[in-house]
Amino acid sequence: MDNIEARIAAIESILEGKRVESERVDISIRGAVLGFPAMLEAFSPHFPFGLNYIVETKIVDDPSQPPDDDALKITITPRIARGFMGKLFRLFLFEPKGQPVDEPRIDSAFVCSYNNRDEAKRFGRYPGVAEKLVALQRCSNFSELLIKADAGLYLAQPVSFDHIDVDVCREIFRLMGELGQVLFDGFS
């Protein structure tokens, strides 16, 4: 248990936050990344349960404003196979083709689905976004990344809390914070 408590303390330091009690999950650590509220959650600290990273970019919620149904929502999952094997996987329906964002680095590495084609393409071409997404996949091996322009980012990582590398966690939050800054500056 000391190993888990040490990891909690290290992540509290990364987020400059603290562990909070939650009825939903065993571990919930809240703090901030680049000024945005951030959270790491683990349903259980042990295998087979993974981690959830959240960075909120909508800091002030105005109840008088109606929800924006046209706000960009992108779901990104890593491709299983690429090149010729990717075509075979799609042919045999193992992997969907996805919706293109017309950015080769993103389209070749990820399966994307979105609600607003023009905004998704603009997001994919935004300076540094493709590099950050590829770097985020390399360091986290995420299973899903959800980006909502009117809320923030959610990342699911299939690594249990008791096996997370604290330096990897730091890098994931750094990259998510930078992507959150892009959402905040250009898409909110």
**DSSP result, 104-151:** HHHHHHEEEEES-HHHHHHHHHSTTHHHHHHHHHHHH--SEEEEETTT
Q: Give 70 or 39, the one with higher predicted confidence.
A: 39
d(CA 3, CA 16): 20
Looking at residue 70, what is its pLDDT? 77
Q: Domain map of the chain by residue range?
A: 2-61+69-76+113-186
Fold entry, domain 2-61+69-76+113-186:
Yope Regulator; Chain: A, (3.30.1460)
pLDDT in tens, 54-100: 999 986 665 556 656 678 999 999 987 555 555 555 555 555 667 88
Looking at residue 47, what is its pLDDT? 85
Per-residue pLDDT band at 126 (split at 50, 70, 90) = very high
Looking at residue 66, what is its pLDDT? 60
Q: In the predicted model, is pLDDT for residue 24 greater than 80?
A: yes
Looking at residue 157, what is its pLDDT? 96
Q: What is the mean pLDDT of residues 23-48?
A: 93
Q: What is the mean pLDDT of residues 99-106?
A: 90
Q: What is the mean pLDDT of residues 121-125?
A: 93
